[in-house]
Amino acid sequence: MGIMRWTLLERLKQANPNIEVINTYGYLTKNKRIELNLAKEHYNDAYCIAGNLNAKPLKQCLYLKKIRRHNRQIHKFNFIKGHKRKSKQTDYMVGGFCLFDKAKFEGQECFITGRRKRGAFTLKTFWGQKIKDGASMKKLILVERASGYMKQTASRQFLATQTV
């Protein structure tokens, strides 16, 4: 960002001539946050940078986590008879569920972080707390299909007690 900052700033000014585009620094954001007695969070920094102190903050925040995509070895090194490689990976879809699907298990929303061919799943919350290892697919209700991100909305009071 250090190399591109000034070019980006000039291009933004040219593209939006009737909007004021200004540069800011971290120490200014920090001083404003301390002055307003706000916790060190990304949404509070954005609030201070925006400069509109009359804006009312939302009660809920949306958190996103990028999830991995095919970054593991999918074959074993040793060949089986017939010189074929044995697959090391479970099927993509097991019982209608795949990795990182959002599901409901016993009334609690969670994410599928592990799967077995027999239909058992490892379930964790967005924050990484294990709910169940070996949960049956019969007890799961699909809430949302996996995309490139895990999504979770939470209140600000709840977020103060969690670590991502």
Model pLDDT for residues 94-104, shown as the tens digit of each residue = 888 888 999 99
Q: How many domains does the chain divide into?
A: 2
33 with 70, same domain? no
> Three-state DSSP class for 159?
helix
Residue 100 included in any domain: yes
- The pLDDT tens digits for 37-54 are 988 888 888 888 887 878
Contact between 125 and 113 (Cβ < 8 Å): no
The pLDDT score that the predictor gives to residue 70 is: 64
Would 25 be classed as within a structural domain?
yes
Shared domain check, 152 and 77:
yes
* 34 vs 26: CA distance, rounded Å: 12
The pLDDT value recorded for residue 73 is 60
Determine the Cα–Cα distance for residues 16 and 5; give it in Å rounded to an integer.
16
Residues 73 and 120 in one domain: yes
CB atoms within 10 A of CB 132: 17
pLDDT for residue 106: 92
Predicted local confidence at residue 14, as pLDDT: 92
Per-residue model confidence (pLDDT) at position 117: 82
Q: Same domain for 40 and 78?
A: no
Question: Quick one: pLDDT at residue 123?
Answer: 94
Is 161 contained in some domain?
no
Structural domain contains residue 162: no
Residue 74 and residue 33 share a domain: no
pLDDT beneath 70, residues of the chain:
1, 70-90, 156-164
Look up the domain containing 78 and give its range: 66-156
Query: Is 142 domain-assigned?
Result: yes
Task: Specify whether 32 is located in the same domain as 77.
Answer: no
